[in-house]
Amino acid sequence: MAYALDPEIRALRQLVRDRAFYKREESGIKSHIYAALLRKGIEYDDGLLGQKRKREELRSYQLPEVDRGLDVLNRVDELTQTLDEEIHQAFLKSKEAQLLETIPGIGEFTAVALVAELCPIDRFPNIEKLCSYAGLVPTNHQSGESSYQGHLKTDSNHLVKWLLVEASWSHRQWADKSSDVTKVARRVARRGGKQKGNVAGAHKLLKIVYAVLKRGTPYTPDRPSFGVGAAES
């Protein structure tokens, strides 16, 4: 049976999906600018394009492709000011979003977006259902007595999956190196490559999100995920 959204959650979902569209556009523009800098052998600090004042210094190189990218980034910033303010106000009103922000790597936007897409969390009877909804579990194929796992599910919430993959990267930057997300992502990456490591990190982060929402308590790194063991294959 499909879950019926109340009008407030429906409106919040539309808000975060609109903002997510521009965030994806922004990410592509930044990648384009970074690639242009690399082609010219220009070194830059990580996250430079996220700092409005510092990124304007790149105009001193007088590279048309970089200047165009900066112009577009500034335009996106102008267009999304109202959206960002609405998301900030939604964050201030949401206890769940404020709890999720205690998880390293999850900021206001991601917290609000996860609340909009996942809450009420009790509609997921267990973590397996939630991971399936987010598309972070592989498909299972069976033939006779043989069974194997295929690609990740495609009939899932692609926004949640994208948010968690992005947030898992940030988590690994800001959390303690002994974080379960970091350890799982690195271990899987060594065996299966970077992409599988990213998915494993996102999968583990989703379990932490589930635990925080189910318990209604802030993130604490020494507590295991709700309903699952601390270890991850």
The 10s digit of each residue's pLDDT in 122-138 is 999 999 999 999 999 86
Total-model pTM:
0.85
To the nearest whole percent, how much of the chain has pLDDT over 70? 86
Q: Which amino acid is at 142?
A: Q
As to burial, measured by CB atoms within 10 angstroms (0-12 exposed, 13-18 middle, 19+ buried), residue 187 is middle
The CA angle 101-102-105, to the nearest 5 degrees, is: 65
Task: Report d(CA 170, CA 111) in Å as an integer.
Answer: 13
Which parts of 55-153 are beta strand (E)?
138-143, 146-152
Give the model's pLDDT for residue 53: 93
DSSP 177: T
Rg (CA), the chain: 19
Give the model's pLDDT for residue 114: 98
Strand-strand pairing, 146-152 and 138-143: antiparallel
Give the model's pLDDT for residue 223: 65
Cα of first residue to Cα of last residue in the chain, in angstroms, is 32
The three-class DSSP label of residue 151 is: strand
